[in-house]
Structure 1
Amino acid sequence: MDSSKKFIIVSISAAVLLIILVSCTLAYSGRDNTLMSDKSLNLEINGFNVELPLAEDGAVYDAVSLSSVTANSIKLKNDVGAVVKINEKSIGTGKTMELKLEQLAAGELIKIEVGNEKDKRVIYLRTLSSQLPEMVVTGESPYEGNYYATLSSGGAVLYELNATGDVVFYIAKSEEDANGESYWDFKKHVLEDGKIRYSYQRSYPSPSAAAFSDYTLGERVILDENYHEIETITLAESENASAGDLVDGHDFILINDDHYIVSAYQLKMVENIPANLSPDPMGSKVVSTLIQEVKAGEVVFEFATNDYPELYTLSTENNYANSSNKTPNYANLNSMTIDPVDNNLICSFGNLNTIMKINRETGAILWNLSGAGDQFGLTEDQKTSKQSDVELTEDGYLTIFDNATNSGQTRVLKLKLDEVNKKILEYKEYKVPGHTTVAGGSVQKVGDGLEVYTISWGTNTDGLAALTEVDFSSGKKIFEMTLPQGVFNYQVQKFK
């Protein structure tokens, strides 16, 4: 080969090499510039999207949801042109890893490294979100079970505490990220077949909820035993509802994966209000309560309060002329439980001041306890007012969280009923001096053979404890948790 041809070949090779080198340089330059300035890491953590900007080295961010009782699922959703490590473990684009955390605590961070040959960023995730309020805990409960709670103010927050008051699971969105969402009624379910499920109400702004700004309309979210979302529940098609209508968030009963009981508030125009209550002659607008039981996708039972005209008379919110209150929520279901003796429903209607048993087959009202229609002979001092929770103990007692707005002294009631003869066999009341709850709150009896109760104080007016576990037989507070002034739980419930 002559020298001129060799020169041409060498020149071409050099040119090709130069193009490759320039391309690589530009690629690295583009990669580094993007990583240093505009790039974000997109993760899916326990089903929630989290975007983490990479502009600032050492930045610390919140996850939406983390757990210390189950492994956390983390998926890398985007390619940032670099190696990504989470707590020293590499993760590829589109891949999912599991991360076990020993505890969720202030100062405990998840380390995320993002880098290539010429650039590197280290950022962090808090294990305990800054959206959770500071909780001051005293004592430790010796009784089995964890506490499940939702905040009723600011953002969308639910959390689970163990017996020492440590957060072991949470979902927490800032007010900005929540975009109007709120969470209610977080609880654990042990199904008939032994499976573990969790649920909470996710309420959100929507056109169909516009008339119910004070209520918790939305969808019931079902989580599996690992706290992963598996289903959302709204109303099923029936004579009283359209498929997809929003449900209320005060209470929910999950019997099996395909069998549950929900409630809803419905705006209705009615003409069956007794004349002595001065209804609007053109028809009155009311907020009616609907209870709906669904099994295998079919509605098997419904109860609508507007089908029972006698309930209008019991209400404390009876402006049926629609003059001052355009849509009175005259019944206000806020709690329901199944009586295992006869499988019927026991429900608390806060605006009726009444606890009611309802036949789950016929819809018949079997009895009324307290309120203007009381059938058990309660004295005026014994009657409840705006009660917000009713439960059954394993030994057949009825426990009631009585907000007692008539007297101003919130209390816990424990009753034994003779349902056949409509008599009170036992009546006990417990008070914690100074505690007054204007809305929300709940009570559960814990411990065998003892007068120990877990009490959540809802929207209390004294700035005292948000949660108290107390032995009333000794007067001793076993466990107590306090939130910052102005921060409230809707309810706290304890489940084994």
Structure 2
Amino acid sequence: MIPTNQGLAPGEAATRTAAARPAPLPEPPRFEVRRNRPGTAAGVYLTTPQSPHALDAPHGPLILDGDGRPVWFHPVPDGELAADLRVQRYQGRPVLTWWQGTFHDLSHGRGVCHVADERYRIIASVSGSAPADLHEFRLTPRGTALLMQYVPRETDLSAVGGPPSATVLDGVVEEVDVATGETVWRWSSLDHIPVTESDLPYGLLPEPYDYLHLNSVDEDADGDLLVSARYTSAVYKVDRRTGEIVWRLGGRQSSFPLGAGVRFGWQHDATWSAPGVVKVFDNATVDMWPGWESRVAWIRVDAARGETGLVRQFVHPEHLCTTREGAAHELPGGGAVVAWGPTGRMSEFSPDGELLFDAALPPGEWSSYRVYKSPWEGRPEEPPSAFVQDGSVRAVWNGATGVARWRVLAGASAGSLEPVAEAPWDGLDTAVPLPGTARGATHVRVDALDGGGGVVGSSDVVTTEVDGR
């Protein structure tokens, strides 16, 4: 539930008068919903639409309801982007987390990871010993966070046809205490994974040489880490105590034979689905060599027997090819929501792989690296806003969940408001047409109503001429 009138005294909402007409939010990128069938999981979609080629457009973390309508949008400063918005738990409470910063070479980021409470207040920000990369920000039950960094480092590349001294991007994983920002554990890929494992030829892209391209980290039940490296087409189990590689799944030096249907390439988002089962977003392709169909694959890994096998997979009916980015969030019951990277698509599948929900960003360079779906109750600190435009009152309450309808009250003064119109909630910015009888009113307020018709929030009274423009 949302606190009624945000803590105002009884009757106060009816007499508050705003000094000026409120300004609307920048409009977030819109998803076109192409399929929405019964059976989707409960919760909201959490995404971060981004376009490094359209930085003048609004960017930021975005929450959508089950029908693809915006619930919350947090615009970031011009020139910045956001990534990896999700619901996690911190200090026993659900929180929102996301990365925010700048892109470099369209492949990695330099920024900060934020934690926000249910009122959308940022309560912690961490980056570790260097600017945090965009690919991962995972909270642990210990009050710490696992995150990644791309750190330039000089090394010998003669074994891969390069010079004896060249700049390489070291893939670094750090565990950081969220409350203090202190780094409590650090792992360097160059100390444990040689450049000769890379599938990316040296010199194909400008320096620094990104030989590994880490893009996800997950924690194992035994405390070890599961790390995904796109440019070696391998997933690594890392011993937390020593930093050594326990085993490799895939790549040039796989510790196990790859069973039928297991082989993957250029992957993202490798996480544990269940004991002995790894879920991976298999891009199966890369920008330089597009054309292969991408998928989500669940792979059984029996380290004791040295065996692997394909458990199941999800593919999009349109056979989407995701040349970069991409992720899958497994839902309770076995379904999943999937982000298809630069195709601009996001989908939800049933446990048996039926496509239930499908939406698309505007055509062009818009994408969302990841998408999640989780229950979330937002309680904004600020009350709703109202402003008049084109003969309608626009009711805005950024981040509020649990609003079923909007009621508009209008009159000749703040003390003479009467209900004149209602409309169902239709996103964080809902337009409610004014009837002709209210067009001469000079004062307007909106009330947010819950499913039972109770008032859960009220705007200031806006003094404006309602003239139908």
TM-based fold match above 0.5: yes
Q: Pick from 133, 138, 147 the counterpart of residue 35 of structure 2.
A: 138
Q: Pick from 85, 90, 99 the counterpart of residue 186 of structure 1.
A: 85
Matches within 5 A, 1:356-395: 356-378=236-258, 382-394=262-274
1:160 aligns to what? 63
Matches within 5 A, 1:89-488: 90=16, 113-114=18-19, 123-126=21-24, 129-136=26-33, 138-139=35-36, 141-153=39-51, 154=54, 155-173=58-76, 178-191=77-90, 193-204=91-102, 214-236=107-129, 245-255=130-140, 258-271=143-156, 273=157, 275-281=158-164, 283-295=165-177, 297-308=181-192, 310-319=193-202, 325-340=206-221, 342-378=222-258, 382-394=262-274, 397-405=277-285, 408-432=292-316, 433-448=318-333, 450=334, 452-460=335-343, 466-471=345-350, 473=352, 476-486=354-364, 487-488=366-367
Question: CA-to-partner distance for each residue in 1:186-219, whole Å, 9 max, x for gaps?
Answer: 111124x5222221111138xxx7xx66421111
Measure, in 1, the Cα distance between the counterparts of 2:294 and 2:14. Answer: 52
Give the CA deviation at 1:257.
Answer: 7.8
Q: Could you list the structure 1 runs, at least 4 aligned residues long, displaced by more than 6 angstroms after superposition.
A: 68-74
Give the CA deviation at 1:87.
Answer: 7.4
1:240 aligns to what? none
Give the CA deviation at 1:343.
Answer: 1.7
The answer to whether the Cα contact below 8 Å between 1:220 and 1:232 also exists between their aligned partners in 2 is yes
Question: CA-to-partner distance for each residue in 1:457-484, whole Å, 9 max, x for gaps?
Answer: 1112xx7xx11112363x5321222222
Residue 194 of structure 2: SS of its match in structure 1? Answer: helix
The answer to whether the Cα contact below 8 Å between 2:102 and 2:111 also exists between their aligned partners in 1 is yes
The answer to whether the Cα contact below 8 Å between 2:168 and 2:211 also exists between their aligned partners in 1 is yes
Question: CA-to-partner distance for each residue in 1:238-296, whole Å, 9 max, x for gaps?
Answer: xxxxxxx211010111125841111100111113x4x4323313x12111111111245
Measure, in 2, the Cα distance between the counterparts of 1:480 and 1:422. Answer: 38
Question: CA-to-partner distance for each residue in 1:223-243, whole Å, 9 max, x for gaps?
Answer: 12322112221223xxxxxxx
Give the CA deviation at 1:392.
Answer: 2.1
Give the CA deviation at 1:70.
Answer: 7.9
Residue 190 of structure 1: SS of its match in structure 2? Answer: strand
Measure, in 2, the Cα distance between the counterparts of 1:124 and 1:485. Answer: 32
Measure, in 2, the Cα distance between the counterparts of 1:131 and 1:218. Answer: 21
The answer to whether the Cα contact below 8 Å between 1:412 and 1:430 also exists between their aligned partners in 2 is yes
- Higher RCO (CA-CA < 8 Å; seq separation 6+): 2
Higher helix share: 1
Give the CA deviation at 1:327.
Answer: 1.1
Question: CA-to-partner distance for each residue in 1:36-92, whole Å, 9 max, x for gaps?
Answer: xxxxxxxxxxxxxxxxxxxxxxxxxxxxxxxx9789989xxxxxxxxxxx975527x
Give the CA deviation at 1:396.
Answer: 5.0
TM-score, length basis structure 2: 0.69
**Structure 2: where are the runs of 5+ without partners?**
376-469
Relative to structure 1, is the Cα distance of residues 170 and 393 closer, same or farther in structure 2, using a 3 angstrom cutoff?
A: same
Residue 195 of structure 2: SS of its match in structure 1? Answer: helix
Relative to structure 1, is the Cα distance of residues 394 and 90 closer, same or farther in structure 2, using a 3 angstrom cutoff?
A: farther
The question of 1:493 aligning with 2:375 is answered no
Question: CA-to-partner distance for each residue in 1:365-404, whole Å, 9 max, x for gaps?
Answer: 1111111121221169632211111222256532111111
TM-score, length basis structure 1: 0.65
Measure, in 2, the Cα distance between the counterparts of 1:318 and 1:72. Answer: 60
Give the CA deviation at 1:125.
Answer: 3.8
Give the CA deviation at 1:323.
Answer: 8.4
2:426 aligns to what? none
Relative to structure 1, is the Cα distance of residues 361 and 398 closer, same or farther in structure 2, using a 3 angstrom cutoff?
A: same
Relative to structure 1, is the Cα distance of residues 146 and 392 closer, same or farther in structure 2, using a 3 angstrom cutoff?
A: farther
How many residues are paired up?
358
Q: Percent identity?
A: 22
Give the CA deviation at 1:135.
Answer: 3.5
Measure, in 2, the Cα distance between the counterparts of 1:73 and 1:404. Answer: 50
Question: CA-to-partner distance for each residue in 1:109-165, whole Å, 9 max, x for gaps?
Answer: xxxx42xxxxxx5x2444x64233253353255423322100121442211123232
**Residue 78 of structure 2 aligns to which amino acid in structure 1?**
N
Residue 489 of structure 1: SS of its match in structure 2? Answer: coil
**Structure 1: where are the runs of 5+ without partners?**
1-67, 75-85, 92-112, 115-120, 237-244
Measure, in 1, the Cα distance between the counterparts of 2:4 and 2:141. Answer: 25
Relative to structure 1, is the Cα distance of residues 426 and 170 closer, same or farther in structure 2, using a 3 angstrom cutoff?
A: same
In angstroms, what is the RMSD of aligned CA positions? Answer: 3.0
